[in-house]
Amino acid sequence: MTATFTQQYINGRWKQGSSEKTVQNYNPYSNELIQTIQSANEDDLNEAYDYAEKAQSGWAALKPAEKQAYFDRLLKIMNDRKEEIVEWLVKESGSTKIKSQVEFQAALAIVKEASSFPTRMEGTILPSNVPGKDNYVHRSAKGVIGVIGPWNFPFHLALRSIAPAIATGNTVVVKPASDTPVTSGLLIADLFHEAGFPEGVINVLVGRGSEIGDAFVEHSTPKLISFTGSTEVGSHIGELAGKHLKDTALELGGNNAMLVLKDADIDRAVQAAAFGKFLHQGQICMSLNRILIHESIYDKFTEAFKNKVESLKAGDPADDDTVVGPVINQEAVERIQQDVDESVNQGARKLLGGKVEGNLMHPVVLSNVTNDMPIAKNEIFGPVAALIKVKDEEEAIQIANDSPYGLSGSIFTTDRYRGIEVAKRIETGMIHINDQSVNDEGHVAFGGEKQSGIGRFGGEWAIDKFTTVKWISVQSEYREYPF
């Protein structure tokens, strides 16, 4: 076990990175330097993939109960080290205590779900039109999986790929996000190490994308690349992988809408909207980007929402009562501020907010927003709520779909069956009626449409993604051939 997390983790051992470059890890709230990590280079990358490949067949051959025993130990260790995990999330990713608890529970749930996968690797027996033939469809691990972790929900979203991949018999090489190298990689490796997983099953390389990013994807060893992050980077990864006919699992950006229909319970919609918008400062792929409100209740909703958001404490994420902490870095602050300013110049009205202290942005509420403004067109990834007035349900559906993204969404209505009919018409991979858009359950299909990604995580969909099938036929009686 290492207390500083300043080294690479390859084949069950901690070692210094071989690059001359370093990754500096800063606390986004205080801007204090947490640590400096010697980066990995392509030599380290080749070594990690080589060890992962050597370890894979032996790991896959273990009995289901043996694999599950490792996961049982991992779950216990995660619970034992919960406070440490939460502390790292707070200081490395700017997560509030509330968000860190949510993230820990989500990560725990995905590991619990993955622990059931070794006994859920189902095959199929199919009939044949050939006399005496039996058709078997056998399911097995793909091999080595490359995982590129994100910085926003680093612990959970990295584990969402790592745990299912390993549980289905694969080994993994992980490249954590440079902004969160510990919580999206090194800390996870340490947990697996303490749980006693065999050498080479998980390997973690901290390095700059400019140095090892493309090589990580194009390397001949990994059979699938799993990436969670921006659509721009995901598109590049998909292009590189496609060139080598390599499979991908891509969970990308979102421009998620909440539709508040005219019969909605306004108070409940306001509470849900505040959570779905401002959890982790809106830095979640599923965060509410646009809140579309029927004109008959627009004024009432807007006033209630403004009052609710005004009550949210912004400040040090280490304080128990802080709801809104810092965004990840100064570049994010400047990008978000530019979209807010341009939208106000185009006619949006700032009802609340605007104060910026370093990377801490106090919540902003904008009314009179239209869907062509930057704050509505772009993925915000920050603590800004855009309120859009719609004349009817049809306009709400049209505006919700008027985006290249399609990840998550929300509908508020007292007529739940009407809500289902509206939900069917929204072009998105996930949508929630009388709830906000930030939902993730380990046993349910998770993923997006359009530019929000390819593939699904969770439950049987994760099993399908991280495994492959082979047709094996057996002739029980010799077959007659025409020549």
Running DSSP on this structure, what letter comes out for residue 283?
-
- β-bridge partners, 134: 474
- β pairing state of 384-390 and 8-10: unpaired
Q: What CA–CA distances, in Å, run from 323 to 110, 111, 228, 280, 311?
A: 25, 27, 24, 8, 10
Q: Per the residue annotation, which of 251, 303, 310, 427 is the catalytic one?
A: 251
Q: Measure the CA dihedral 224/225/227/232, to 10°.
A: -120
- β-bridge partners, 135: 126, 473
3-state secondary structure at position 234: helix
Q: What is the dihedral sign for C-alpha 299, 302, 308, 312?
A: negative
CA distance linking residue 200 with residue 77, whole number of Å: 20
- β-bridge partners, 450: 405
Query: Catalytic residue at 251?
Result: yes
Is residue 133 within 8 A of residue 473, CB to CB? The reply is: yes
Q: Which residues contact 357 (CB under 8 A, 6 or more apart)?
A: none
How many of the other CB atoms lie within 10 Å of CB of 216?
A: 27
**Residue 430 in tokens:** 């996930």
The catalytic residues are 251
